């Protein structure tokens, strides 16, 4: 009788174990909302052949468990980058040279500097090569930040104020818009205007910057700021790229989570290649001007749900394979290190982390992206919402924009210091 009871117990235990194993292996359905309430129940479930928990980095898990982040998941979907961009990348093979001493890359014309499929995780210079890929015009020859708004959000009180800006970046190299691939004499890499348009107390504040090609990596950006009080432009120091944008918690260096060329950083290290949940198919409308000056103007941000600065509940996260690169900034930079999670197939940053000078976790970046077709038919994936969250202050300046690749009719003369002054006045 005892043996029979033992056998029965073992059989029941085995059945229960098999049942739990089957449940864990069962695919989690698309549309599931991951939250603090169910995280422990779903983290070992499978989604597209990988466990849910393995695709959620440590800081994101902390935000889910402790800071009310929720993630609605969807199946991943292929994204097609422009054929010209990918063809130019293949044409670079054997032409682009990397100097391990200077960390400079030469011989590039367009597309990516290095085919990401050729980047070896064991290469000590893999981090630099990945960031060089980001340095090129990944979202078109001209970037047009339409209807960009910075919303200042307190994690407890919600929206404090809204600032509206206008920005345009013009790449002098790697242009694939049907005109010359390179413009100018080869000394300038890119030019950028950023200017505030409202409210009235900041209207006209703005900057114009030039980033140079410099083999020695010693030439700083030239940056001018327009000052309303004297109606003049003033040249800023070469370290302006490390400063905050206006009164936001986002640095110029955080423009696309990571904006600096690799040689501005002391080192860039490829930590791993992994899968993460990210927002790669944000809705087409990021700023709805029919609801101007209300939280409905920003439909992709959960401004009505504490802590008010996360992606809205309907925004869907999907598995994306990424490179994880850690950079050590130069002296004088506010961060001791920055980490970026960037698409493997082409350079699109999805997530980022920043640490203070004591090595403490400080900021997290969640950028919503979406595929876009430029006015000339150019295909790219664009950042359209940026959640820049300062966890030390429990505060965010979250920006939203109906960004556009390759807007029609833009020429080099439209992105100049003269143009900044004209717009600012």
The whole-number pLDDT of residue 13 equals: 56
Angle at 333 between CA 329 and CA 338, to 5 degrees: 45
pLDDT above 70 as % of the chain: 93
Q: Which of 79-88, 197-206, 300-309, 364-373 has the lowest mean pLDDT?
A: 197-206
| pLDDT 10s digits, 405-423 | 999 999 999 999 999 999 8
Q: Provide the percentage of residues in the chain whose pLDDT is more than 90.
A: 83
Of 28 and 240, which is predicted with more confidence? Answer: 28
Note the pLDDT of residue 17: 52
Return the pLDDT at 4: 55
- Is the pLDDT confidence value at 5 over 60? no
**pLDDT on residue 106:** 93
* Residue 7 burial (10 A CB sphere; 0-12, 13-18, 19+): exposed
For residue 23, the model assigns a pLDDT of 55
pLDDT range class, residue 231, cuts 50, 70, 90? confident
Residue 163 has pLDDT above 50, yes or no: yes
- Average pLDDT on 261-277 reads 97
What pLDDT digit, counting tens, does each position of 22-46 carry?
Answer: 555 789 999 999 999 999 999 999 9
CA 178 to chain centre: 27
The pLDDT value given to residue 215? 59
Report the distance separating Cα 234 and Cα 195, nearest Å.
14
Over range 216-233, report the average pLDDT: 82
What does the alpha-carbon distance between residue 326 and residue 354 come to, in Å, rounded to a whole number?
A: 10
Report pLDDT for 227: 84
Q: Is the pLDDT of residue 2 over 90?
A: no
pLDDT of residue 133: 97
The per-residue pLDDT for 19 is: 46
For residues 145 and 340, the model is more confident at 340
Q: pLDDT tens digits for 292-340?
A: 989 999 999 999 999 999 999 999 999 999 999 999 999 999 999 999 9
| Domains defined for the chain, CATH in brackets | 2-57 (no CATH), 133-424 (2.50.20.10)
The conformation of residue 244, written as its DSSP 8-state character, comes to B
Phi, psi of 325 (to 5 degrees): -115, 130
Please compute the mean of the pLDDT values over residues 240-250 and round it to a whole number. 93
| Inter-residue long-range contacts of 87-92, CB under 8 Å, 24+ positions, other chains counted | 87/111, 88/112, 88/174, 88/176, 89/115, 90/115
Does the pLDDT at position 20 exceed 50? no
Mean pLDDT of 133-146: 90
Instruction: Report whether pLDDT(9) > 70.
Output: no
Sign of CA dihedral 29, 34, 40, 43: positive
pLDDT of residue 14: 54
* 8 Å CB contact between 357 and 334: yes
Q: Is the pLDDT of residue 120 over 90?
A: yes
| Amino acid 218: pLDDT | 66
Task: Give residue-wise pLDDT tens across range 174-197.
Answer: 999 999 999 999 999 999 999 999
Q: What is the mean pLDDT of residues 233-248?
A: 91
Q: Where are the beta strands (DSSP E) in 128-253?
A: 142-154, 158-171, 188-198, 206-212, 222-227, 232-235
Question: What is each CA distance from 328 to 224, 230, 260, 340, 354, in whole angstroms?
Answer: 26, 38, 12, 12, 10
């Amino acid at each position: 009788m005892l043996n029979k009871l033992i056998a029965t117990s073992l059989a029941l235990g085995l059945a229960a174990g098999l049942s739990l194993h089957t449940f864990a292996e069962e695919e989690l359905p698309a549309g599931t909302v991951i939250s603090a309430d169910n995280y422990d129940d779903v983290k070992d479930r499978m989604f597209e052949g990988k466990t849910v928990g393995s695709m959620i980095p440590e800081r994101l898990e902390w935000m889910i468990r402790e800071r009310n982040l929720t993630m609605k998941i969807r199946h991943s979907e292929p994204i097609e980058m422009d054929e010209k961009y990918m063809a130019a990348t293949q044409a670079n093979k054997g032409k682009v040279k990397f100097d391990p001493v200077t960390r400079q890359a030469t011989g590039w014309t367009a597309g990516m500097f290095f085919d990401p499929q050729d980047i070896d995780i064991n290469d000590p210079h893999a981090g630099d090569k990945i960031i060089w890929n980001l340095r090129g015009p990944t979202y078109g020859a001209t970037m047009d930040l339409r209807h960009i708004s910075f919303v200042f959000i307190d994690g407890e009180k919600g929206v404090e104020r809204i600032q509206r800006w206008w920005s345009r970046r013009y790449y002098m190299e790697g242009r694939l818009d049907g005109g010359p691939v390179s413009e100018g004499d080869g000394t300038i890499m890119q030019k950028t205007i950023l200017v505030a348009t409202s409210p009235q107390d900041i209207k006209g504040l703005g900057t114009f910057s030039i980033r140079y090609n410099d083999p020695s990596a010693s030439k700083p950006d030239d940056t001018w700021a327009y000052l309303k009080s004297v109606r003049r432009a003033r040249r800023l120091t070469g370290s302006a790229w490390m400063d905050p944008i206006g009164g936001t918690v986002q640095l110029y260096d955080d423009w696309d989570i990571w904006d600096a060329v690799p040689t501005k950083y002391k080192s860039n290290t490829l930590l791993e290649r992994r899968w993460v949940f990210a927002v790669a198919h944000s809705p087409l409308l990021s700023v709805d001007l029919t609801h101007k000056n209300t939280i409905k103007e920003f439909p992709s941000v959960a401004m009505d749900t504490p802590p008010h600065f996360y992606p809205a509940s309907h925004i869907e996260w999907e598995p994306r394979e990424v490179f994880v690169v850690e950079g050590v900034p130069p002296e004088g930079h506010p961060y001791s290190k920055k980490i970026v999670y960037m698409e493997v197939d082409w350079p699109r940053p999805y997530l980022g982390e920043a640490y203070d000078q004591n090595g403490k976790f400080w900021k997290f970046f969640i950028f919503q992206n979406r595929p876009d077709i430029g006015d000339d038919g150019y295909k790219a994936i664009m950042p359209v919402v940026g959640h820049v969250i300062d966890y030390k202050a429990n505060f965010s300046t979250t920006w939203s924009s109906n960004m556009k690749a390759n807007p029609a009719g833009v020429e080099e003369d439209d992105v100049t210091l003269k143009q900044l002054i004209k717009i600012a006045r």
